Amino acid sequence: MLVVQKYGGTSVGDLERIESVAKRVSKAKEAGNDIVVVVSAMSGETNKLVGYAEHFSQTPSAREMDILLSSGERVTSALLAIALTEMGHPAMAMTGRQAGIYTDEVHTKARINSIDNRAMKEALDKGKIVILAGFQGITESGSVTTLGRGGSDLSAVAVAGALDADLCEIYTDVDGIYTTDPRIEPKAKKIEKISYDEMLEFASLGAKVLQNRSVELAKKLNVNLVTRSSFNDNEGTLITKEENIMEQPIVSGIAVDKNQARITLRGVSDKPGIAAEIFKTLAQNNINVDMIIQNVGEDSSTNLGFTVPENELERAKEIMLQLNASENLEFDRDIAKVSIVGVGMKSHSGVASRAFETLAAENINIEMISTSEIKISMVVAEKYSELAVRALHSAYEMDQ
């Protein structure tokens, strides 16, 4: 079998952890498999590097950020390769460039365009274990890029696809996908199997256990994806096609995203073209706008509110200030988005009203709402978001 194993930040958080990962990889190799390992930076390392850059600038150049941030993964890939080789399993560390991971030019959130798998194949053919520095690639013109936060998951799935691997295992600090973040609700239950679509919603709505684009790609390439813990041998969660899952609950889980900020524009004159201009400019600058509400204020002018990822707020702010007078703008970092996810919602009514009642009973004000076939998202004050998660988790009887 060809197995891709990805180890996240906590799994390679210090030298002891890297040693224990090396042992796990050795075991899989000794069982007769070909192994490609994808590693993250040591936990906290990427944030530390972001902090260093912010010491000098609130809006550092994205190109320079990529050179900076990609370094964390290089460290762990080299260390793990050294440790494995020392254990008698020759291993070869590779950067994104060396492994042939080609991306577009969108620095700090590049997309993978293609993978030239020859270098990895050659190393595997020689019996070596390939240790890929995750989260990074290279543009056609030779610039280093990174794939967005949590992007080592994407590296792993993309490589599993490019090498036609039999299995892609994502090792982390929880032993699978739970009905909600077990750090917020200890009563959360492990899910045995979850569909790509639900997992994609879950990940896009803040369950950072898997990066959303990695799930999207796994679905597209039909990669057998399993999340499990590097701290024990428990069975993990299989992410698979919907038809492979027998029983679908109405609500599968609750996600929360605290990395959200809101921009409100007051007193917009009520005429065509205003929203188009704002959202076009934001899109041109690669800012992801999520929930949008517009309501009529007094004197036929309107208020426009929308959310952006908190780490894009500074750039969004600059753009909005260029387009609008500052006295009409408001920025709010202290919000969070709480979401209920479940494919079973497609065929059930009353799911949303129960959510609204539950939050009302806790005196939590819902500031924005958006829905799709399989999710309901609500913006609430960040300080109440964990309470909201626990209340909803219990209201939909997920702790039973």
Residue 178: name its binding partner from Mg ion, ligand ADP, ligand ASP, none (Cβ under 5 to 8 Å by kind): ligand ADP
* Closer to Mg ion by Cβ: residue 150 or 342: 150
* Closer to Mg ion by Cβ: residue 13 or 150: 150
d(CA 152, CA 217): 13
Q: Which stretch binds ligand ASP (CB under 6 A): 149-157, 161-169, 310-318, 336-344?
A: 149-157
Q: Give residues 168-227 in contact with ligand ADP (rule: CB under 6 A).
A: 172-174, 177-178, 180-183, 207-209
Number of residues counted as binding ligand ADP (CB under 6 A)? 20
Closest distance of CB 90 from ligand ADP, Å = 26
Structure tokens at 338: 């709480």
Residue 391: name its binding partner from Mg ion, ligand ADP, ligand ASP, none (Cβ under 5 to 8 Å by kind): none
* Closer to ligand ADP by Cβ: residue 282 or 380: 380
Which residues contact Mg ion by CB under 5 A? 8, 150
> Do 202 and 37 touch, CB atoms closer than 8 A?
no
Residue 396 touching ligand ADP (CB under 6 A): no
* Closer to Mg ion by Cβ: residue 137 or 342: 137
Residue 149: name its binding partner from Mg ion, ligand ADP, ligand ASP, none (Cβ under 5 to 8 Å by kind): ligand ASP
- Angle in degrees, CA 259, 231, 167, rounded to 5: 80
Q: Which stretch binds ligand ADP (CB under 6 A): 6-14, 130-138, 280-288, 366-374?
A: 6-14
Residue 150 touching ligand ASP (CB under 6 A): yes
Q: Which residues are paired to 339 by β-bridges?
A: 255, 377
Residue 9 touching ligand ASP (CB under 6 A): yes
Contacting residues toward ligand ASP, per CB under 6 A: 8-9, 40-41, 46, 72, 134-135, 149-153
